[in-house]
Amino acid sequence: MARINNRIRRLRFDHDEMTQEELAARADCTRQTIIALEQNKYLPSIELAFKIARVFGVSVEDVFQYMD
């Protein structure tokens, strides 16, 4: 079954130890959504995926990986 992993937690720490609250505010979502994403319990919409990637200044594929 296909899965999508993400590196959000790693990227947060690499960007001056950004907090979940900061990332949520900059990506226009709730902190609970960031928590759910980092726990791989929630798949974001394309729009939110792009917003998160833009916060980190990387491409979407650098944040989210599709695993067959």
List interacting residues with another protein (CB under 8 A): 21, 24-25, 28-33, 36, 42, 44-45, 47-48
Between 41 and 68, CB nearer to another protein: 41
Position 55, amino acid: V
Q: Find out whether 59 and 49 touch, Cβ atoms under 8 Å.
A: no
Q: Shortest gap between Cβ of 1 and another protein (angstroms)?
A: 19
Q: Shortest gap between Cβ of 30 and another protein (angstroms)?
A: 5
Conformation bin of residue 44: beta by default, left when phi > 0, alpha when psi is -120 to 50:
beta
Q: Shortest gap between Cβ of 8 and another protein (angstroms)?
A: 14
Listed residue (59, 54, 24) closest to 38, CA to CA = 24
